[in-house]
Amino acid sequence: MVKIQEPNQYVIDLELQNEITMFYYREAELLDTRDYQSWFQLLTEDIIYRMPARVTCDSSSESDIIDEMSYFEDDYTTMKTRVDRLYTKSAWSHDPPSRTRHFISHIRIKKGRNEDELEVKSYFQFIRNRGNQTINDQLTGERVDLLQRDGHDWKIAKRTIYPDHAVIGTQNLHTFF
């Protein structure tokens, strides 16, 4: 097992890095193939899934993220409702279904507070096309996840999505990142 300790406190165990990378690739594939029920199984029952708002501010500001205001802030129950709705006839934003691609990169791992937890940061690029449109929706940003070990697998206990955009230029946010 090759381990490297970086000055910024990210721990790189190359086997673990590969395991987490493959976990994220599998997650992206489930979302892109619209297997939302299998994707939902990757979440813990105490999941917090949120996207805080970003604003444009001058360079003297400490942060351009507004934690008190979110585009969405979901828990297990609301996530289940969102997933279940996709399999009903009233999911108009998914009829016809969107074609999506989730690209994940720059995966950085830190040890969590508990032995069975990891804090993982990654960059994402989300592209969506629907119907016969020639223009794609595209969102980019950073995700900060808390992963928990569940037997031999990992589950997402918390995901905070930080969009690069102060104005989200899509028709809806009915997607998962």
Residue 168 lies in a domain: no
Residue 171 lies in a domain: no
Residues in the chain: 177
Contact criterion met (CB below 8 Å) for 169 and 158: no
Residue 177 lies in a domain: no
Residue 27 lies in a domain: yes
pLDDT in tens, 136-175: 899 999 999 999 999 999 999 999 999 998 877 777 777 8
d(CA 115, CA 148): 9
pLDDT in tens, 23-78: 999 999 999 999 999 999 999 999 999 999 887 776 666 777 777 788 899 999 99
Give the domain range for residue 146.
Answer: 3-163
CATH code of the domain containing 93: 3.10.450.50
Residue 169 lies in a domain: no
Residue 172 lies in a domain: no
Residue 174 lies in a domain: no
Residue 98 lies in a domain: yes
Domain count across the chain: 1
Rounded to two decimals, the pTM is: 0.87
